[in-house]
Amino acid sequence: MPPTSATPTIDDVRRIAAAVSNWGRWGSEDQLGTLNHLTAERVASGAQCVRRGDVISMAVPFDSDGPQRGGWGRFNPIHLMMRDGNDAVTGTTVRDFYGGFDGYVRGTDDLLILPLQAGTQWDALSHMVFEGKIYNGYAATEVSSLGALKNDIAQAREKLIGRGVLLDIARWKGKPWLDGGEAISGDDLEDCAAAQGVEVRPGDIVLVRTGQMGQVKAEGDWGDYAAGYSARAPGLGLASAEWIHAKQVAAVATDTWGAEVLPTETRDVSMPMHIILIVHMGLTLGEIFDLEALADDCASDGVYEFLFSAPPLPITRAVGSPINPVAVK
Amino acid sequence: MPPTSATPTIDDVRRIAAAVSNWGRWGSEDQLGTLNHLTAERVASGAQCVRRGDVISMAVPFDSDGPQRGGWGRFNPIHLMMRDGNDAVTGTTVRDFYGGFDGYVRGTDDLLILPLQAGTQWDALSHMVFEGKIYNGYAATEVSSLGALKNDIAQAREKLIGRGVLLDIARWKGKPWLDGGEAISGDDLEDCAAAQGVEVRPGDIVLVRTGQMGQVKAEGDWGDYAAGYSARAPGLGLASAEWIHAKQVAAVATDTWGAEVLPTETRDVSMPMHIILIVHMGLTLGEIFDLEALADDCASDGVYEFLFSAPPLPITRAVGSPINPVAVK
Amino acid sequence: MPPTSATPTIDDVRRIAAAVSNWGRWGSEDQLGTLNHLTAERVASGAQCVRRGDVISMAVPFDSDGPQRGGWGRFNPIHLMMRDGNDAVTGTTVRDFYGGFDGYVRGTDDLLILPLQAGTQWDALSHMVFEGKIYNGYAATEVSSLGALKNDIAQAREKLIGRGVLLDIARWKGKPWLDGGEAISGDDLEDCAAAQGVEVRPGDIVLVRTGQMGQVKAEGDWGDYAAGYSARAPGLGLASAEWIHAKQVAAVATDTWGAEVLPTETRDVSMPMHIILIVHMGLTLGEIFDLEALADDCASDGVYEFLFSAPPLPITRAVGSPINPVAVK
Amino acid sequence: MPPTSATPTIDDVRRIAAAVSNWGRWGSEDQLGTLNHLTAERVASGAQCVRRGDVISMAVPFDSDGPQRGGWGRFNPIHLMMRDGNDAVTGTTVRDFYGGFDGYVRGTDDLLILPLQAGTQWDALSHMVFEGKIYNGYAATEVSSLGALKNDIAQAREKLIGRGVLLDIARWKGKPWLDGGEAISGDDLEDCAAAQGVEVRPGDIVLVRTGQMGQVKAEGDWGDYAAGYSARAPGLGLASAEWIHAKQVAAVATDTWGAEVLPTETRDVSMPMHIILIVHMGLTLGEIFDLEALADDCASDGVYEFLFSAPPLPITRAVGSPINPVAVK
């Protein structure tokens, strides 16, 4: 279902969205979307992918050196100590926190201020609104100043562990990283999987590597990585939607800020794939994944499937969650 | 190695701590402690515990209804929206966040302010200081206002997924929950495991259920759950340290605020097991786990082993991490 | 203009609001409301009230012992150190913050997380919405997730210093504090001023003491002070609106959580005086003022006028500001 | 008392500090330092400086466009809405915050996350440590992770309103702004005052304009304004300490990030004037003041004295406070 004009518009987006929409598919009360594809049986088959037992993290460190540059008010995580080892050494833990009683032990405590979209994260199905609706047709007003009364990330608390598949598009294309503006199609995903000798199955969590995280590391600077619409980034193109839908994957994640290609392929739509994938398909989307170590490992042993684990923090009414996704090879 | 007097003192704590200390065991640079027991091979054997593929979360919801009551400055998570569905509906997303350009899609964003010890969490090995030292003999001053330069929770980013074992002490004792002040010994842990027909192996993550979380739910009130030293709670007693050490477990978690029995068994030490387990043994300790659903499941199928997954968020220099631990049966 | 029925309703509120409305009075672009009454000349006359030069603060301490109990998500201020004196003592300031260079001096830094309505504060004219509008007829959507584009507290950055008058209603009535539910009328305000021998003039900042803050101190507990609509509190009644309007005061503040009497005098309106005073009159309202020390001073010298100073912090787009109001006698 | 060598060292700093030290001057329990100079009588004489009643704010807006660039963990204020006008419009205020009861009115609420040194602010006397001590000889450990038990900013809650004097050094030197590295001496301050025809008296709050804030505005960019030690900025030199001491001023504020000249005049001391003024003299120092409008006003009427008002927020145990300082001419 490729766009029918040279420059796709909102009409194309609407058409694709309608074709891959899962509204009502799992009932009018559903808040899980494509996570429904991740059945217990498929979780079990994910566990069977473990061979060596090596664990590879895909999280970017949560700290002040993260990618955020202030766009839309997002900033990098702020970490603060509430009590520390110095208090233990000078005696102020006992004086100021233990009421003067010295029971020998002294604890340390800390605190984090974290925009939930700041680092490696899942977008909840309440993270995107299109024409006044969120996934499954719930009114956008279900996401008020109090948070998401529908489709919050806590719905997924017992999901997002299962079979993971890495599609290393950059390596498959013989590049260290894709270019900004380079769109990934369904054919690319299919051909890459075939070339890697891995089958994408229903319920899989599919990780798509563009190499942009590697580029950031090579350049030693986040640059415009999190610059939003104004940036250039490789990513999922409109022509990937139908493949993702047909494959019945549970979730997709990439190593970029916004998962989809930037600038977008549409003349008038800011993030068409967010409309199609999140709002209509009900796909849980992962962003800012560091896939470099995993990709190296997969390239080295030729095995692109693994147990993937990244259940979100059950933050009530949240529209996203920070995660530390791990692959177990 | 039970305490030698009717009322144990710091001398007993020192003696037990020395007996189970792992300082230097994995080298002078080690920052993982007992997580070293969790080898790749053992991770793989954990994955083999998956049978049905059912996923059970052990996290308490992260929200304002959590257990904290202000002690030591800890408070329940504060969740705030940065942009919401109402902005999408009224048009202020476009006006105020998108520079007036209407690209059809509208996002929502949120933020969390979270004491890292507020809810279901891992204590990092930098969370406790004893006699000016943290685990492996690092100076307490390695944990400054900037955070933990040694033993921070980010060290464990590729650990804490492996074989999990539930020891349901409350059910084994035929009680809905243990009493405040009821201490769990190594013999209790051993006998419970035997009664459950499960073997605790090196590298396991052991979950100890006291039932206190069930009590909170039954009573509909957190009460003194997070009241600290002044509370009464069941938990690990001094007589459990040697067993935990001998078994070479990777981590231990409980369904209580502080893992160890309160009031403590010592006359003069506030949290002796925190000294013994965290500072000397180098054991990553989990707290505020909700083990109720898992316990019901294990009781129903008689299987007390499972794949356990809860790698921490790699928060740089943090002394703890919120987690959503899951068991896959 | 007293309500015309035994139990006033929204119709009475609408009628009173219309009678005292200042919408358009200072032009369609106005964002200051009654602060317009505070002309330079009147500021100067306020300065002339200073005799002895004694300064009396009316702020409640900003800390965790404040009045908030979680209602509407409000909590007491959270204060955290970013660097402290212990870092200076142990050397971690130099190691962790100064790049290892010891230039002899060591700084300390801190941070505050503060709901702007948590303590002693001004309500901005954007703090209240009635029938889709804020003061001067601006659409409520001018107050989005980005904050208040109209009527934010920063508008008042060069206001709120001028002649202050204390009306000590409790003392005038011969009580230590008014009762919960006890309404203050325009006649009360007028008669109290007369009894005190003080004239209320245009542009004044009028402080109305109910004594409730004294009650809190006497009882050693905030109790239901900040419990919102469900609490009982003395305060301004509907019958005070016309007086406030006629007097052309610049601002009014009280020693209660919500300035108006609770339960309210209306059957169907939650906070009628907030509609009347903030939305329609455009009156900047001060709350949680500690008037005890000032009241004692005024009673002792019989002088109820003074220089009042409490310009808000110019927090861009904020709907309130914490303040430390001072009276200079 | 000018430094005795071409390049002053810590010995010179110690000598100057000793010469101007106020430790013990107001007793061993004193926590106010030079604010003691601001007697009631002098407050009253400050009020007499008001002529026209014009109010001029000196605060930089508290928002994300502030000067901070992350140094020492400082960031610009983060403002978040907790409830907004959109909730009022769509009905979610009633649904999500008022328990479904529609009492006609709808409130908005907000929250600020603010490093207390981020914008226009007072440094408390606990903000600086030298040789293990803070002002008046208190141990640095009085400033723990819990905050400042001595010399916190709340001590000054009834101070910092009084006679203000502007010394417009830049204008006096005939420059739009001083150069980075340009030091201001006591002679400069004295001569400037004389040229302006204003006398600096005991208890005054002295505002020293370098013009750097005007430079920032002219250039439309904060640049290195808040870059710390590595920046170049005009400011107070070592040769100003004795004058400030002799004049018995209550407080000093400037329009720069750090009040003193940068790079400093010392070979080995990072911020010598912070040692001398804050730690030893006990001078409350104001920073990041916007003196542009005030300077224009003073130049226009030739009157450089005014009522100054900026009592800090009484944030318990804080080492600084945001303020909105105003001058009333």
Q: What is the ipTM of this complex?
A: 0.97
CA distance D262 to A291: 44
Q: What's the number of CA atoms in the CB half-sphere (13 Å) around residue D325?
A: 37
**Does B86 sit within 8 Å of A318, measured CB to CB?**
no
Contacts of A11 in chain B (CB under 8 A): none
**Does A73 sit within 8 Å of D75, measured CB to CB?**
no
**Does D92 sit within 8 Å of B90, measured CB to CB?**
no
Using the predicted structure, report yes or no on whether residue B107 has a pLDDT greater than 60.
Answer: yes
Sorted by sequence, the CB contacts under 8 Å of residue B141 that are 6+ apart come out as A85, A86, A89, C90, C91, C92
**Does A84 sit within 8 Å of C80, measured CB to CB?**
no
Q: What token pair was written down for C176?
A: 């230590």
Name which of D148, D144, D114 is nearest D278 in CA terms: D148
| The pLDDT value given to residue C229 | 81
| The pLDDT value given to residue B210 | 98
Contacts of C113 in chain B (CB under 8 A): 78, 113
Q: What token pair was written down for A187?
A: 């054919």
Give the pLDDT confidence of A138-172 residue by residue, as tens digits: 999 999 999 999 999 999 999 999 999 999 999 99
Residue D87 dihedral angles phi and psi, to the nearest 5°: -60, -40
Task: Give DSSP secondary structure letters for C185-254.
Answer: PHHHHHHHHHHHT----TT-EEEEE-SHHHHHHHHTS-TTTT-GGGS-B-EE-GGGHHHHHHHT-SEEEE
Chain A residues contacting D via beta carbons under 8 Å? 64, 70, 73, 75, 78, 81-84, 86-87, 90-92, 95-97, 113, 141, 144-146, 149
Using the predicted structure, report yes or no on whether residue B54 has a pLDDT greater than 60.
Answer: yes
Q: Are C178 and C170 in contact (CB under 8 A)?
A: yes
Which parts of chain A are beta strand (E)? 55-57, 78-83, 105-107, 109-115, 121-123, 128-130, 133-134, 138-139, 143-144, 147-148, 161-168, 183-184, 205-209, 235-236, 251-254, 284-287, 305-309, 320-322, 326-328
Q: Are strands D105-107 and C128-130 parallel, antiparallel or unpaired?
A: antiparallel
Taking residues B243-270, what's their average pLDDT? 97
Per-residue buried b or exposed e for D289-298, using 16+ beta carbons within 10 Å of the residue's own CB: bbbbebbebb
**Does A312 sit within 8 Å of B56, measured CB to CB?**
no
Contacts of D146 in chain A (CB under 8 A): 92, 96-97
| The pLDDT value given to residue B6 | 64
| The pLDDT value given to residue A228 | 86
- Residue of A90, A93, A94, A319 to mutate, interface with C, max C Cβ within 10 Å: A90
CA distance D254 to B126: 41
Question: Mind telling me how many Å the CA of A141 is from chain D's nearest CA?
Answer: 7
Candidate from B70, B95, B146 with C-beta closest to C97: B146
Chain D residues contacting B via beta carbons under 8 Å? 73, 80-82, 84, 86-87, 89-90, 92, 111, 113, 145
Per-residue buried b or exposed e for C302-313, using 16+ beta carbons within 10 Å of the residue's own CB: ebbbbbbbbbbb
Which parts of D5-160 are beta strand (E)? 55-57, 78-83, 105-107, 109-115, 121-123, 128-130, 143-144, 147-148
Contacts of A96 in chain D (CB under 8 A): 144-146, 149
Contacts of D279 in chain C (CB under 8 A): 105
Give the pLDDT confidence of B277-321 residue by residue, as tens digits: 999 999 999 999 999 999 999 999 999 999 999 999 999 999 999
Taking residues C82-100, what's their average pLDDT? 98
Q: What token pair was written down for A32?
A: 């899980």
Q: What are the beta bridge partners of residue B322?
A: B121
Give the pLDDT confidence of B114-162 residue by residue, as tens digits: 999 999 999 999 999 999 999 999 999 999 999 999 999 999 999 999 9
C-beta atoms surrounding A301 within 10 Å: 11
Taking residues B154-171, what's their average pLDDT? 98
Q: Is B10 helix (H, G, I), strand (E, B) or coil?
A: helix
Average pLDDT taken over every residue of chain C = 97
Candidate from C83, C95, C113 with C-beta closest to B113: C113
Give the pLDDT confidence of B250-259 residue by residue, as tens digits: 999 999 999 9
**What is chain D's alpha carbon radius of gyration, rounded to the nearest angstrom?**
21
Contacts of A144 in chain B (CB under 8 A): 81, 84-86
Taking residues C177-186, what's their average pLDDT? 98
What chain D residue is nearest to A80 in terms of C-alpha separation? Answer: D73
Dihedral of the alpha carbons of D240, D243, D248, D252, in degrees to the nearest 10: -30
What chain C residue is nearest to D323 in terms of C-alpha separation? Answer: C313
Taking residues C35-62, what's their average pLDDT? 98
Give the pLDDT confidence of D190-203 residue by residue, as tens digits: 999 999 999 999 99
Using the predicted structure, report yes or no on whether residue D14 has a pLDDT greater than 70.
Answer: yes
Name which of C251, C315, C309, C259 is nearest C289 in CA terms: C259
**Does C149 sit within 8 Å of B84, measured CB to CB?**
no
Q: Are C39 and C158 in contact (CB under 8 A)?
A: no
Q: Give me the percent of chain B exceeding a pLDDT of 70.
A: 98
CA distance C210 to C121: 17
| The pLDDT value given to residue A12 | 97
Strand order across the B78-83 sheet: A78-83, A109-115, B109-115, B78-83
Question: Mind telling me how many Å the CA of C21 is from chain B's nearest CA?
Answer: 27
Residue A300 dihedral angles phi and psi, to the nearest 5°: -80, -35
Candidate from A64, A73, A96 with C-beta closest to D70: A64
Contacts of B90 in chain D (CB under 8 A): 86, 89-90
Name which of A224, A207, A208 is nearest A216 in CA terms: A224
Contacts of D320 in chain C (CB under 8 A): 109-110
Taking residues C97-119, what's their average pLDDT? 97
C-beta atoms surrounding B226 within 10 Å: 25
- Answer yes or no: pTM beyond 0.95: yes
Average pLDDT taken over every residue of chain D = 97
Contacts of D141 in chain A (CB under 8 A): 90-92
Sorted by sequence, the CB contacts under 8 Å of residue B98 that are 6+ apart come out as A270, B106
Q: What token pair was written down for B129?
A: 């200081």
**Does D81 sit within 8 Å of B86, measured CB to CB?**
no
CA distance A14 to B187: 64
Residue whose pair of structure tokens reads 């796709």 in the numeric block: A8
Residue A228 dihedral angles phi and psi, to the nearest 5°: 80, -150
Which pLDDT band holds residue B228 (cuts at 50, 70, 90)? confident
Listed range (A1-15, A100-114, A205-219, B203-217) with the worst mean pLDDT: A1-15
Candidate from B81, B95, B145 with C-beta closest to C92: B145
| The pLDDT value given to residue B229 | 82
Q: What are the beta bridge partners of residue B55?
A: B328
Give D248: exposed, middle or buried? Use CB within 10 Å, 0-12, 13-18, 19+.
middle
Sorted by sequence, the CB contacts under 8 Å of residue C190 that are 6+ apart come out as C243
Question: Which helix or strand (DSSP H or E) is residue A88 part of?
Answer: helix A85-90
Name which of D277, D185, D263, D254 is nearest D224 in CA terms: D263
- Residue of A280, A321, A324 to mutate, interface with B, max B Cβ within 10 Å: A324
Contacts of A130 in chain B (CB under 8 A): 104-106
Touching subunits of D (3+ CB pairs, under 8 Å) are A, B, C
What chain A residue is nearest to C93 in terms of C-alpha separation? Answer: A86
Question: Mind telling me how many Å the CA of B32 is from chain A's nearest CA?
Answer: 15
Taking residues A204-208, what's their average pLDDT? 98
The sign one gets for the Cα dihedral A244, A245, A247, A249 is positive
CA distance C291 to D20: 38
Candidate from A73, A80, A84 with C-beta closest to C111: A80
- Residue of B112, B146, B222 to mutate, interface with C, max C Cβ within 10 Å: B146
| The pLDDT value given to residue A5 | 55
Q: Are A213 and A247 in contact (CB under 8 A)?
A: no
- Residue of B74, B79, B84, B144 to mutate, interface with D, max D Cβ within 10 Å: B84
Contacts of D50 in chain C (CB under 8 A): 43-44, 47-48
Which pLDDT band holds residue A89 (cuts at 50, 70, 90)? very high
**Does B145 sit within 8 Å of C82, measured CB to CB?**
yes
The sign one gets for the Cα dihedral D324, C154, D235, D197 is negative
Q: Are A203 and A250 in contact (CB under 8 A)?
A: yes
Q: Are D32 and D282 in contact (CB under 8 A)?
A: yes
Q: What token pair was written down for D266?
A: 């010392």
| The pLDDT value given to residue B150 | 98
Contacts of A91 in chain D (CB under 8 A): 141
| The pLDDT value given to residue D259 | 97
Contacts of D145 in chain B (CB under 8 A): 145
Q: Is B54 helix (H, G, I), strand (E, B) or coil?
A: coil
Give the pLDDT confidence of A235-269 residue by residue, as tens digits: 999 999 999 999 999 999 999 999 999 999 998 99
DSSP state of A107: E
Q: Is C145 helix (H, G, I), strand (E, B) or coil?
A: coil
Using the predicted structure, report yes or no on whether residue D2 has a pLDDT greater than 80.
Answer: no
| The pLDDT value given to residue B230 | 81
CA distance B80 to A148: 11
Chain B residues contacting D via beta carbons under 8 Å? 80-82, 84, 86-87, 89-90, 92, 111, 113, 145-146
Q: What are the beta bridge partners of residue D209?
A: D168
Which pLDDT band holds residue D7 (cuts at 50, 70, 90)? confident
CA distance C158 to C311: 6
Name which of D261, D68, D269, D274 is nearest D169 in CA terms: D261
Which pLDDT band holds residue C255 (cuts at 50, 70, 90)? very high
| The pLDDT value given to residue A28 | 98
Which pLDDT band holds residue C5 (cuts at 50, 70, 90)? low
A181: alpha, beta or left? (left if phi > 0; alpha if psi -120 to 50) = left
Touching subunits of C (3+ CB pairs, under 8 Å) are A, B, D
Question: Which helix or strand (DSSP H or E) is residue D272 part of?
Answer: helix D272-273
Give the pLDDT confidence of C7-38 residue by residue, as tens digits: 899 999 999 999 999 999 999 999 999 999 99
Q: Is C307 helix (H, G, I), strand (E, B) or coil?
A: strand
What chain B residue is nearest to A82 in terms of C-alpha separation? Answer: B73
Candidate from C70, C75, C96 with C-beta closest to B144: C96
**Does A81 sit within 8 Å of C81, measured CB to CB?**
yes
Sorted by sequence, the CB contacts under 8 Å of residue D302 that are 6+ apart come out as D196, D197
Using the predicted structure, report yes or no on whether residue B3 has a pLDDT greater than 80.
Answer: no
